[in-house]
Chain A
């Protein structure tokens, strides 16, 4: 089935650093969504993107829907300890309006 390639798999960063992660697909997606999941909890929506080229911010988070509709990135500026968690990209493939397809996640760890 369809898969999203998410990278990096994990990131060790210092507090205050900027973070960048991305997601790619071999086929076209109609939407891109970024979620964050913390231990023992379900994913929480961070940013939703609906149009190719769309650039959306949510506080220190910025995400973009790639022009080719096959990729998306998420940037976090000036990371803080509460940013720790697993970040997932997800999207609706052009053939499926109802099924969300997910990446494997990027685990963000902040070095003390």
Chain B
């Protein structure tokens, strides 16, 4: 049973560039959430996708956008990269049960993004 898979595992970009990160949810899960984890800190919620729509968004600028595909996989796009965007980007999947918090999140191992 495949868990949450993310690609790539590591990425180095230059300020101003754009990046796309990919996530495949755990088998049977239909909801995908993205989190940003800076070094030494807890993850910060970026947004959650369900039924191919953004269901809730955290306190992140519009430079951060996403997409969910019919097979439940998801992409996170970040435009106009800043040095401060350097972080571990975590994807988590869950099963929607009406009230999302009833389905614990399962995380991938993340994509380490470095912006120079």
Residue interface mask A83-109, B partner, CB < 8 A = 1: 000001010100011111111110000
Which residues of B are interface residues toward A (Cβ below 8 A)? 4, 33, 35, 40-45, 48, 55-56, 58-59, 90, 92, 99-102, 104-110
Kindly list chain B residues whose C-beta atoms are within 8 Å of the C-beta of A92: 101
With contact pairs A1-B59, A43-B90 given, residues A101 and B106 touching in the complex (Cβ less than 8 Å): no
Q: Is the CB of B42 within 8 A of A105?
A: yes
Are the C-beta atoms of A101 and B107 separated by less than 8 Å? no
* Cβ distance A79 to chain B, nearest Cβ, rounded Å: 22
Measured between beta carbons, the chain A residues less than 8 angstroms from B35 are: 100
Beta-carbon contacts under 8 Å, A16-57 to B: 30-31, 33, 35, 40-45, 48, 50
A45 to B35 CA separation, bound complex (whole angstroms):
15
Q: Are B106 and A30 in contact (CB-based, < 8 A)? A: no
